[in-house]
Structure 1
Amino acid sequence: MPNFAYIVKDAKGARVEGIMKADTLDVAIDKLSKEGSTIISVKAASEGAFKGKMSLFDKLMLAIYKFRTGVSLKTLVFFTRQLSTMFSAGLTLEKAISDLEREETNKKFSKVLRKISDDIRKGYSLSESMEQHPGVFNPLYIALVKAGEVSGTLHTVLDELSDYLEKIEDTRRKVMSAMAYPIFIMVFLTIVVWGMFYWIIPQFSEVYSNFDADLPGPTLAAIAASNFIKNNVIATVFLAMLTVFGFFLIYLTDRGRYLMDAFILKIPVIGQVVTNSIMSKFSRTFSILMTAGVPIMDTMELTENVVQNAVVEGAVRKARVMVKEGYGVANAFRKTGAFPPTLLQMLSTGEETGDMD
């Protein structure tokens, strides 16, 4: 069933954006009209808009969509924990989410919760309702909720998902804290270099101009760069911004992202911190998916989409292909050469004992 991106105004006049599934465009429009929404725009979302092979334009639009509709991990952690507690206490999902929506201070997330509550009231499952908001709930989140619905252990899955998200958030904070000093040094050095070109080198340039001597090529290049920066401050700032935006566009391409992610992993100190963070997220994600009863191939695919590093994603993808061809899980990951011995040993032990979670 195809996806359709829509922009409507609800009964209160609030602008609502989202993604819905429907057989045809007419069915999507009819469904929105019956909900009492004023339709602004409804169009087919490209097949690669939220998964699979995406064009550069699709990736740029997805980045913008997530920025406009996404919520912080901290907000999502709090919501999941509260929903788990309220559902375990006996409240219906519709009632629990409706109560959380009224208490939510984030306007973006409040609209999302209102739509989810309405969809559940109309007969949709929780996972189906969340699928309409890919900028908020990623495939991993939805897959775990769906697994809980199928197995009848949604309250347990929500509780485990809360713990998982809290650990991911804690890891994120530790990584940011560990990287703060190296980033500060890099920014400080950038400012120092800029200051040298803007203030110090021009003073030396005046001294050199009083001598009738041939200057070395590097010195002449430094003086020329200094003169350009000093005489074209606005152009220099614009060029710097353009360079950053250019790197962002390059990062959106598959090849560019792979090269940049590989470079990050090789940076002293920062690379090790990032690697540890990725492996921590990988092991926790793999564990919670297996615990929830998600099949191994689906687990590997979802884990691939969570690690957020093209090098490791490629390694997981290769391992998934090898497992499909008959290799053992631990052996497949070992052959990629991208995973540390400790993690491989844990996978091997789990595979031998039949306890992969």
Structure 2
Amino acid sequence: MPVFSYLIKDNAGSRREGEIRADSLDTAMLKLAANNQIIVNLQEVDTSWDFIGPFIDEINLSIERMKNRIPLSNLVFFTRQLATMYSAGLTLERSIHGLATEERHTRFKKVLINVSENIRKGLSLSESMQKHPGVFNNLYIALTKAGEVSGNLNEIMDQLAKYLENLDDVRRKVRSAMTYPVFMVIFLFLMMAGMFIYIIPQFSDVYAQLGARLPAATLYMVYISEWVSSHFGGILLSIFGTIFCGWLISKTRRGGYIIDSIKLNSPVFGSLVEQSILNKFSKTAGILIGAGVPVIESMKLLKKIVDNRVYEVAIEDATGYIRDGFNISTALRRTERFPSILLQLTATGEETGELDSLLDNASEFYYKQVNALVDRMTTLIEPLLILMVGAVIAVMVIVTYLPVFYLGSALQQGL
């Protein structure tokens, strides 16, 4: 959506400038003139190179997360223990210092010590955590801040611990469904590399000494083996280079959108990825709204935690509709991205005033969907992969040993 910079003047004569997103220049003019404001200047902003700043920020954040990677189980345990100790009457500084003393993870221990020291200096818990974006994400910090403002930090931390446990469980199930296929593909690649580099050249030397005329299929395999052996370093470099370039492309807005669209539309894993995103969206939205975080601020946080550019764009569009006066369910429906079940539960929650609990029910529904999909995929994919690997091995063995069937004539020619 195009971005327009504006300079407007109200009836009192005071001027204000900023930026606005709109489909066209006329739409931007209508939005700005809606409140009887005089448009002094309005022009479209060239956003051709605007991707560089967010791209560099994404790279830096990814590096920061890799440097300070903390197991989610450690973060869940810390959150649960902090909620218990704080509700028991201990101060935040003393609670975090005690947890840091018992923490065995070296990097997380240093982070907790730093957070404890910052609290002792007078910073709030959310401000102290904000100094470690690689450990505490935006959602964690926002909920902590909401708990500080509302005065029920222990309840918010307890909800956050449950949320992280749910997130860890869903992530573990999705990874378990994808680990076996990835392992089998890597195993197949290594097995074929071993065949082409070590085994087939030995057979080709034997057949060359015998002077036998090889079958066409075996000749093709020998040629492939020679090419792979002479270019194996380049093949590995190309694979790693492709993976690295794909990772860089995924950090750009357009590239990430294309890659995430492919993930959602993939025939096997697309449904699993989408159900896990909807589970995370529903659970997070329920917690944020239940904690009293404003809707616009909640939508901004939801955009950052879905980890999918397609849904990020949909949430951004929904945020714009909410600013224009639509309710949450209507805004989500207008994006044409969210399923009808979630939309119906959201609309019912808005009518009854129990939006947070109904969103939590939606997250439970999608959690069960993820479990069912993982079980179904595991049941179907494992035998298919075993058959595929067996078929590849069988073809390579048959083609390699095919000249043995003509061994008699080969020996006669050799003698």
* Smaller-chain TM-score bracket: 0.7 to 0.9
Cα deviation, residue 232, structure 1: 2.5
Cα deviation, residue 268, structure 1: 2.2
1:148 and 1:163 map into 2 onto residues whose CA distance is 15
**What TM-score results when the alignment is normalised by the length of structure 2?**
0.66
Match for residue 239 of structure 1?
Answer: 238
User: Measured at CA, do residues 119 and 53 of structure 1 come closer, stay the same or move farther in structure 2, by a change above 3 Å?
Assistant: farther
Match for residue 171 of structure 1?
Answer: 170
Counterpart contact for 1:198–1:230, Cα < 8 Å: yes
Give the RMSD, CA atoms, in angstroms: 2.7
Match for residue 56 of structure 1?
Answer: 55
Match of 1:232, SS state, is helix
Q: Which amino acid in 2 is paired with 1:256?
A: G
Q: Which amino acid in 1 is paired with 2:60?
A: M
1:103 and 1:55 map into 2 onto residues whose CA distance is 38
1:316 and 1:327 map into 2 onto residues whose CA distance is 14
Larger radius of gyration: 2
Percent sequence identity over aligned pairs = 45
2:57 and 2:143 map into 1 onto residues whose CA distance is 26
Spell out the pairing of 1:213-292 with structure 2 (5 A cutoff): 226-292=225-291
1:310-345: CA deviation from partner (whole Å, max 9, x where unpaired) = 111111111111111112211111121211211111
1:264 and 1:196 map into 2 onto residues whose CA distance is 32
Cα deviation, residue 210, structure 1: 8.0
2:188 and 2:348 map into 1 onto residues whose CA distance is 47
User: Measured at CA, do residues 267 and 196 of structure 1 come closer, stay the same or move farther in structure 2, by a change above 3 Å?
Assistant: farther
Bigger drift between 58-67 and 257-266 goes to: 58-67
- Tell me whether 1:69 sits opposite 2:68 in the alignment: yes
Cα deviation, residue 204, structure 1: 8.8
User: Measured at CA, do residues 204 and 320 of structure 1 come closer, stay the same or move farther in structure 2, by a change above 3 Å?
Assistant: farther
Cα deviation, residue 98, structure 1: 0.5
1:193-212: CA deviation from partner (whole Å, max 9, x where unpaired) = 545655788779989x9879
Return 5+ residue gaps in structure 2 as ranges. Answer: 1-50, 357-415
Counterpart contact for 1:178–1:273, Cα < 8 Å: no
Match for residue 87 of structure 1?
Answer: 86
Q: Which amino acid in 2 is paired with 1:279?
A: L
Q: Which has the higher contact order (CA 8 A, sep 6+)?
A: 2
Match for residue 324 of structure 1?
Answer: 323
Match for residue 106 of structure 2?
Answer: 107
Match for residue 313 of structure 1?
Answer: 312
Match for residue 25 of structure 1?
Answer: none
Match for residue 48 of structure 1?
Answer: none
2:186 and 2:69 map into 1 onto residues whose CA distance is 28
- Tell me whether 1:152 sits opposite 2:151 in the alignment: yes
2:264 and 2:200 map into 1 onto residues whose CA distance is 35
2:344 and 2:291 map into 1 onto residues whose CA distance is 22
Return 5+ residue gaps in structure 1 as ranges. Answer: 1-51
1:194-241: CA deviation from partner (whole Å, max 9, x where unpaired) = 45655788779989x98799x99xx98x87664332112222222221
2:318 and 2:52 map into 1 onto residues whose CA distance is 19
**What TM-score results when the alignment is normalised by the length of structure 1?**
0.77
1:143 and 1:91 map into 2 onto residues whose CA distance is 22
User: Measured at CA, do residues 272 and 187 of structure 1 come closer, stay the same or move farther in structure 2, by a change above 3 Å?
Assistant: farther
